[in-house]
Structure 1
Amino acid sequence: MSDKWYSGVTRYQWLVLVIACAGWMFDVYEGQIFNITRNDMLREILNNDEAAAKVWGDYFLAIFLAGGTLGGLVFGSLADRYGRRPIMIMTILMYSIFSGLTYFANDIYTVGILRFLVALGIGGEWAVAASLVAEVFPRKARAHAAGIFHASSILGTWLAALSGILVGTNWRFAYLLGVLPALLIVWVRASVKEPEKWQEARSSEVSGKVGSFRELLSDRRWSWHAIGGLLLAAVGLGTFWSVTVAGQDLVRELLLASGADQATASGRSKFAYGIVQAAGGGLGLLAFGPLCARFGRKPTFIGFQLAALVIVPVVCFVPQTYGQIVGLLPIFGFLTLGIHSGFAIYFPELFPTHIRATGASFCFNGGRLMAVPVLLFSGWLKGRPEVSLAYAVTGLSLLFVVGILIVFTLPETKDRDLVEANP
């Protein structure tokens, strides 16, 4: 029994994992509810202009990534300076309130502003939660716990999908549910303590460098870890928003081409993406942690991305019926989404405690900013009538090649204690 990864994990450590998962689940709900409802939302706001809806859809995703970047960088640094708990509370409150206010949006620019503000909170919350899990769990359980933390995103995707299906074209009601995470604040205040590692860093000789971007980028021990991690996240996030979420649109186009009406195509594509594909994605997220623990972080990243290069064109060109594409979507989700657990596992391991949230946030949320040009290009490419969606998505999936090359330049952290700086 002693060789099990979870042996010796305390009740408090499990509690921290549950709270982190709950926060991340609602993070993802706030992001995915837009993917689920955007066709209905944009058709209403843009008076059924399909071409404009496609372009604005990816523009809003780019705005969302930019907001997540800024929020992550700011709140990640603040979490290193002032503690994990207060910043987690602040970020949850922020994304909850502005999601709920989307219910009242009536024009394209108000939607864009609110999506940006929601993203500020989401970007910050991830960095705090990922660092907290890494610092609280012991070395042998760290990859598994961090993998479970990131895999909880599937619950947010399912919640968004079910909300989208239940509200139908009445998309505004789905955003009201975004207020519910504010209730987490009471639980966080009552249950979460600052990790010992953070308290030690605050009182150590490196305390003056806590949360410092200058320390992160000027010290050669950490600077390439930060840049390489940022580029790796940019590949993962760019392909997620331009490739993975396109599963819904691929299903919708197949159904429309088969003679289905708009309402039927919308409902069945939401189910295929939000439930079926998301189930495969969730399994990929859960599998990534144990595979990292067994084979190492780098081989697992490389293997998933190589396999993703194969499955994307298969899903884009092979299916001829709804049943066929639904059968492939779980594999598509498993391989294109699974690497995201690696970010929660790998990035906190690359940096010492006094800049851990800063560094992890710089990688993950800086990757959001680097992914913005991908989203803008994706919106332009998918909006061109002479380029089919299948060719556009397949072309965008070539970014996984870049991801593989980046992984080769980064260190392996398997079986290593969390790194600490020597001042």
Structure 2
Amino acid sequence: MTLRVAIVGGGPAGIYAADILTKAQETTGTPVSVDILERLPAPFGLVRYGVAPDHPRIKEIIKALQRVLAKPEVRFLGNVEYGVDVKLEDLREFYDAVVISTGAMADRDLGIPGEEASLGAADFVSWYDAHPDVPQTWPLEATSVAVLGVGNVALDVARVLAKTGDEMLVTDIPSHVHAGLLAKTITDVHVFARRGPAYAKFSPLELRELNHSPNVEVIVHPEGFDVDAHGMEHIAQHKAQKMVLNTLTSWVGADPVGKPHRIHLHFAEAPTEILTDADGNVTTLRTERTHSPDEDGSVVGTGQVTNWDVQQVYRAIGYRSTPLPGLPFDERAAVIPNDGGRVLDLDGNPIPGTFVTGWIKRGPVGLIGHTKSDAAETVGHLLESTTETATARRPEDVDAYFAERDVQVITHEGWERIDAHEIALGQAEDRLRVKLGERAQMMAAARS
């Protein structure tokens, strides 16, 4: 028997699951056939559409993912949207097991008054990464903006907002993103953290790169920059955060050098309200100074309030997954309920042949290494419990299903044509790549 598996979602989590499945057949002796169903014409998920374009080294992971897609046991079926082009019950006809790996692309809410006037970091990232399903314009008329959050996404957003449009021309951004960044009027970006500097979640490298632009100055404000005994204990147990603190400390109180754009880092400032004018435009961010009375680093307000003159507020406090048709969903945790990757029904019992991996399994935490071990756990349970259940077992049956419904499937060969087209566009401008920003452009390139 050849084990037939569908993976819904073509990001790193799904592709790693496919890789582990194909390698497992060498030890189990059971051949596998894997189809990766992806709603976009291109694979790679957040590696392609969630990593800032001025971080090309992070995108090196794409080379490894590409090798998995080239395996003979793996098929890429792009431009196929789960819940629209195919339902769970349809997949069960063609596959013995279904693995959901759709990730997390929505922004978490702040839960403060005036939040509806804020902008989502995930939405902004999708715009500057030329996601084909988002508008090609973005409002960048402000002079001073606030970014709420102390993770790497917050730094990406702050850096892209602060850098000049021409600085980004060495990346793969298309013309509409360059034009938008070129026209922006932002001079100051204020990044706010609820807790003190000992609990900042930036990676050390990401933080250091914040200061590399010839046009951007990083200012760490001394107010709230305190590390108490609890904070010292915390960094003693976390090497990366100790490195982050060392970098931040070296910047506190540094003399300004007069660069035209500034990124301000504020610690121990919790957002409490976003104020707008009569037309709904942001005028003020209100924050409250915090302190940490407990060993776990949790904070409480001190009553000291500050009003910040900003014209935009970006939420960068984390991503969240969204529900999928035909599957249970834990709204509180924003994940599909599961036990080690085995999807659970409302009574807590495993649903046969249904699995989950990646952020929609565990929440939007961890790096690529966590994704690999996460996929290994899910695949282990899949191989232990999956039996032959599919009734239409040939890849040709799947192809016929989509052809009957006029779904324009993009295969791996189609993606390779998109890839080659983007590289050719880049060569014409002496760049590594120019990304296609419209679905129609990608579909045309795939068919050319």
Point out the structure with the larger helix share: 1
Relative to the length of structure 1, the TM-score reads 0.26
Which structure's relative contact order is higher, taking Cα pairs within 8 Å and 6+ residues apart? 1
Of structures 1 and 2, the larger Rg is shown by 2
